[in-house]
A and B are shown apart, each in its own frame.
Chain A
Amino acid sequence: SYEVTQPPSVSVSPGQSATITCSGDKLDAKYICWYQQKPGQSPVLVIYQDNKRPSGIPERFSGSNSGDTVTLTISGTQPIDEADYYCQAWDSSTAWGVFGGGTKLTVL
């Protein structure tokens, strides 16, 4: 079955840019989305179709997809951005959604 891999944790200082990666075979051929999940809350979609932001998501969230690595970038990271982030790939050739293991973003 298809798999995508994320680093378990990323740390960033407030105001700096945070980069979270998601890797998998031929990821550039699949649409990727990203979710933010804070403790005790349901996930929130922050990026879809590689680089599109749903309404209400701040401009500091951006996404890119090239080759086998997809990247979520948070520019000017704020303490409120501290959360778990999950990438999701859509494997239309087999069955649907595959989540990465999640990355815990710490802002300190």
Chain B
Amino acid sequence: EVQLVESGGGLVQPGGSLGLSCAASGFAFHNYAMHWVRQAPGKGLEWVAGISWNSVNIGYADSVKGRFTISRDNAKNSLFLHMNSLETEDTALYYCAKEYGGTSAFDSWGQGTLVTVSS
């Protein structure tokens, strides 16, 4: 069974930094592209960043480009998102999602970790 477990969320002041992790199990993590998707309270889904299986291809939403960094450690079956210069608009539930075998669709999602940016 595929499991994605996010961690690292919390309360941070505007301008601060935070690092999120996603522990993957139940599938060959090193074979799949992975993504971060966020959802602000009461709002819709927003794709944040994605990384290919070998970390060669990386992409970011315009809203986080230059502030967020996605990375992965295939040896540890882990996905990361490092967030700098956080803004109140970054407050959201952050989901880790697995790409469905090159289809550009996300077939497995974690439960999310909540990031709150507030003074």
Q: Which residues of chain B are within 8 angstroms of A45 by Cβ–Cβ distance?
A: 100, 105-107
The reply to whether B95 and A48 contact each other, CB–CB distance below 8 Å, is: no
Q: B residues near A, CB below 8 A?
A: 35, 37, 44-47, 50, 59-62, 95, 100, 103-107, 109-112
8 A-B pairs with least C-beta separation = A97-B47, A48-B105, A90-B104, A95-B59, A33-B105, A42-B109, A102-B44, A96-B59
Point out the residues of chain B lying under 8 angstroms from A44, CB to CB: 109
Could you say which residues of chain A place their CB within 8 Å of the CB of B110? 42
Chain A residues packing against B (C-beta within 8 Å):
1, 31, 33, 35, 37, 42-45, 48-49, 52, 54, 84, 86, 88, 90, 92, 95-102
Could you tell me the distance between the alpha carbons of A58 and B103 in the complex, rounded to whole angstroms? 20
Bound state CA distance, A101 and B46, in angstroms? 9
Complex CA gap A42/B111 in Å reads 6
- Contacting residues, chain A, for B105 (C-beta < 8 A): 31, 33, 45, 48-49, 88
Q: A31-B103, A48-B105, A90-B104 are in contact. Are A99 and B44 (CB under 8 A)?
A: yes
Least CB separation from A40: chain B residue = B111
**Identity of the chain A residue whose Cβ is nearest the Cβ of B57 in the assembled complex:** A96
Instruction: Establish whether residues A49 and B50, one from each chain, have CB atoms under 8 Å apart when the complex forms.
Output: no
